[in-house]
Amino acid sequence: MIHSSKTQRFDSDIRQNSESGQMKILVVEDEQKTGEYLKRGLTEAGFVVDWVQNGLDGQHLAKSEPYDLVILDVMLPDINGWQIIASLRESGITTPVLFLTAKDSVEDRVKGLERGADDYLIKPFAFTELLARVRTLLKRGTAASPSNTLQVADLILNLPSRQAVRSGQRIVLTNKEFSLLELLLRKQGEVLPRSLIASQVWDMNFDSDTNVIDVAIRRLRSKIDDPYDIKLIHTVRGMGYKLEAIDA
Ligand code: CA
């Protein structure tokens, strides 16, 4: 009873947020004054704001809750901002991240951008400047939100842009190869018979004489599997193909 009413309340909160179009921002900032200032300012600007004061809580929330943006301080009492963003990107979390840093060295900027930061703001900053950066990132961020991507191991497919990236490297695929890979990712762990692949990707009935699927799989493997240790596409003899990350 208690459990179900809790769940309902949670669901209606989410609905209210999406109906009112309010975006959720996570602020990870250990300094009391800056944190309060950000929370108050962003809330007044119409955002739903969660503020935490240490890195581990921030990392946990960013991985478990659907935020539209994370504002991340670099120097935190436990794990730092670099570690958090590396961990998020490794987990396939593509939420835009705006870094706040007191460090104004070129080296730090390069390090942050390499690890997947989307933008920077050097402390102290004006709130209007922060708000402008936040709005820009939110506009940009919608194209790469997690629901628009599919991932297995270190392979990420961006559906709107139809781009494939493995280990941070862009892989050029034909339209059919992308569709084939998308199907395999959507059904990962399941054995897909050739007949299913033929109907879904080629929109044709399977003819046992044609080896079009095997040829396409071979080409796809040469691009997404051959250069890497962990193999993703597997032949299930007599049955079809399956996508799964297996260390060779
Ligand atoms: Ca700090």
**From the CB of residue 111, how many other CB atoms can be counted at a distance below 10 Å?**
14
Distances (CA, A) of 35 to 26, 67, 72, 145, 205: 11, 17, 11, 25, 60
Position 145 confidence tier, pLDDT thresholds 50, 70, 90: very low
Q: 84 C-alpha vs ligand 1 centroid, how far in Å?
A: 14
Whether residue 58 contacts residue 14, with contact meaning beta carbons closer than 8 Å, is answered with: no
125 shares its domain with 232? no
- Of 142, 169, 204, the last residue of a domain is 142
The closest alpha carbon to 46, from 64, 30, 25, belongs to 25
Note the pLDDT of residue 156: 87
Note the pLDDT of residue 221: 97
24 shares its domain with 127? yes
Q: 210 C-alpha vs ligand 1 centroid, how far in Å?
A: 62
Position 157 confidence tier, pLDDT thresholds 50, 70, 90: confident
136 shares its domain with 223? no
Note the pLDDT of residue 147: 58
> Chain-wide mean pLDDT for the chain?
83
- Of 142, 165, 186, the last residue of a domain is 142
The closest alpha carbon to 38, from 3, 12, 64, 73, belongs to 73
Q: 82 C-alpha vs ligand 1 centroid, how far in Å?
A: 12
Q: 137 C-alpha vs ligand 1 centroid, how far in Å?
A: 22
Q: 168 C-alpha vs ligand 1 centroid, how far in Å?
A: 29
- Of 120, 142, 164, the last residue of a domain is 142
In which domain, by residue range, is 105 found? Answer: 4-142
Q: 80 C-alpha vs ligand 1 centroid, how far in Å?
A: 9
Q: 195 C-alpha vs ligand 1 centroid, how far in Å?
A: 56
Whether residue 163 contacts residue 157, with contact meaning beta carbons closer than 8 Å, is answered with: yes
CATH number at residue 12: 3.40.50.2300
The per-residue pLDDT for range 4-56, each reduced to its tens digit, is 443 343 433 433 344 446 899 999 999 999 999 999 999 999 999 999 999 99
Q: 78 C-alpha vs ligand 1 centroid, how far in Å?
A: 10
57 shares its domain with 83? yes
Position 202 confidence tier, pLDDT thresholds 50, 70, 90: confident
Taking the CA atoms of 170, 174, 177 and 183 in sequence, report the sign of the dihedral they define: positive
Determine the average pLDDT of the residues in 110-123.
Answer: 75
Q: 130 C-alpha vs ligand 1 centroid, how far in Å?
A: 17
